[in-house]
Amino acid sequence: MDSNDFKSNDEITWCPGCGDFGILNSLKKALAALGRPPKDILLVSGIGQAAKLPHYIKANCFNGLHGRAIPPAVAAKIANRDLTVIVTTGDGDCYGEGGNHIMHNIRRNVDITVIVHNNQVYGLTKGQASPTTDLGFLTKVQVHGVVMEPLHPLEMAIALGCGFVARGYSADSEHLSWLIQEGVKHRGFALIDVLQPCVTYNKKNTYEWYTKRVYKLNDDASYDPGDKYAAYRKAAEWGDKIPLGIIYRAEKETYEDRRGINKIPPLIEEDIKDIDISAALKEFI
Ligand SMILES: Cc1ncc(C[n+]2csc(CCOP(=O)(O)OP(=O)(O)O)c2C)c(N)n1
């Protein structure tokens, strides 16, 4: 398989140069390398520029409400565990409106992969501050600068017990594709936060700004992603140097293990022909 097996015919409506293109290409490469056909893949998103990504890949797609991508992804995985379920979401969608869902689904630990396109703004709605926007950043709404401290998603995920916490960069497609493959192979909830320049609304954290600072953590054999406290310190590193890679990894029991779900046939295989739904139909139609 190659990336072309996942090509969709939808017209792409992102700005030229948007970091979302790098994430799209990396995901297609990763899916090709994983070798699963489009019928076995479900991409789930909410609303935003990032959330348009599933339209641009040939696979199953569920495009729901703003901030609510994770709940249907979790439900779909539990009902049909043979699917590879991947969420593509923005920093606003995932950490803002969907903040509750990411927190508690990290705790639930269903086997899905969440890719956050972190451009540090609300791109679709024209550049307002998101939870990851830097303190003091000026926008057309935050005209005196952002007054709230930014949320640190990797530190949050490690503190919540997420078993796979990684950071990618949209301009390093080979590396991001590898991270996505590792995230999908991980059993349990995997979070991949991707640094994604927004060429229209974030003139601060540009390609130039990131490219000068990022370095690859997993090139350093002495770094142990299994050491939670070292990982927490790494996740907090931000400034002249910004680490990319698998920051924290731990094998854990999943929700499916704890509930014994893997031992019974998936919901999708249940025979529903004898279930009488006439009363429900009468009430709601
Ligand atoms: C319930 C609800 N609240 C707000 C909106 C408006 N809205 C749509 S997308 C969005 C933010 C998108 O930002 P982000 O998730 O960071 O994605 P990006 O567009 O930057 O990729 C907002 C506030 C909405 N559609 N629904």
> Domain map of the chain by residue range?
3-284
The CATH fold assigned to 3-284 is Rossmann fold (3.40.50)
Residues with CB under 6 A from ligand 1: 47-50, 66, 90-93, 97, 117, 119, 121-125, 130
CA of 233 to the centre of ligand 1 (A): 31
Task: Kindly report the pTM of this predicted structure.
Answer: 0.96
Average pLDDT over residues 157-170: 98
List 62's β-bridge partners, or say none: 44
For residue 50, give the ligand 1 atom closest to its CA: 21
Three-state DSSP state, 166: strand
CA of 94 to the centre of ligand 1 (A): 10
For residue 89, give the ligand 1 atom closest to its CA: 15
CA of 213 to the centre of ligand 1 (A): 28
**Exposed / middle / buried, residue 128 (Cβ in 10 Å: 0-12, 13-18, 19+):** middle
* Gap between the Cα atoms of 101 and 94, Å rounded: 8
pLDDT by residue (tens digit) across 212-242? 999 999 888 899 999 999 999 999 999 999 9
β-strand pairing of 121-122 with 128-129: antiparallel
pLDDT of residue 273 exceeding 90, the answer is no
Q: Ligand 1 test: best mutation among 66, 118, 141, 199, most atoms within 8 Å of CB?
A: 66
For ligand 1, atom 4, which residue shows the shortest CA distance? Answer: 66
Please tell me the predicted confidence (pLDDT) of residue 248: 98
* Gap between the Cα atoms of 280 and 62, Å rounded: 25
Please tell me the predicted confidence (pLDDT) of residue 70: 98
